[in-house]
Structure formats: structure tokens, C-alpha cells
Amino acid sequence: MKQSKKQKLKKELDKLVQKIRESRMAVTLELKQTLSAMRDVRTFFLESDYEKEMERLERFVTLGERMKTLIQDGTIDAMCDVVLKLAIGKEPGNEEKSIEGESV
């Protein structure tokens, strides 16, 4: 009977040791990935291209804001209508076609 208890205890300890090892390996892997990402961020801020990249990002954000304004006030839709009308008008035999009831 003592042997049986020892065997059960050994099996339980082996399971616990395995779980601890798996957890340790998972934490180690996640820590390595996090440190690598942090190194990349640090490198980006210390690189000579940092200011140039930030200016580029700022221009991109400004462009997005301008596009949003143009979409909201209908400018983009009007431009698309004009482009479509011009494109249809240039095709041979399409003089009689219209967009939204307007003849081209």
C-alpha cells in the first residue's frame, strides 16, 4: 500500500513538474518576443531616419484628414462624376449616353 501511495505521489509530482516547465517555456518565449519588439521600437527612435519618418507620417495623416473633408463636403463625388462624364464622352458612339439624366 505504501508503494501505491508513492507511485501516485510521483505521478502527481511529474505532472506538476511538466506543467511548470511548459509555463516557464511559454513565459520565456513571450519575453523574448516582447524584448525583440521593444528593441525594434528603441532602434526606430534612435535611427537617423526617425524625423524623416515622423514627417512622412504627419503628411499621411494630414492627407487622410483632407480626404475625409473632401468626401464629407461632396467634392470627391463631384470630381468622380466629372471624370466619368469625360470618360464616357470620349468613347466613340457614346455621345447620347447620360449620367443621372444629364446628357453628355
Contact 80, 70 (CB under 8 A): no
Grid cell listed for 74 = 461632396
For residues 77 and 100, the answer to whether their CB atoms sit within 8 Å is: no
Report the Cα 66 to chain-centroid distance in Å.
21
- 102 alpha carbon, distance to own chain's centre: 42
**Angle at which helices 50-72 and 75-90 pack, to 10 degrees?**
80
Cα distance from N-terminal residue to C-terminal residue, the chain: 99
Instruction: Please tell me the distance from the alpha carbon of residue 16 to that of residue 47, in angstroms, as a whole number.
Output: 46
- Give tens-digit pLDDT for 16-74: 999 999 999 999 999 999 999 999 988 888 888 888 888 999 999 999 999 999 999 99
pTM of structure: 0.42
Task: List the domain boundaries for the chain.
Answer: 1-46, 59-97
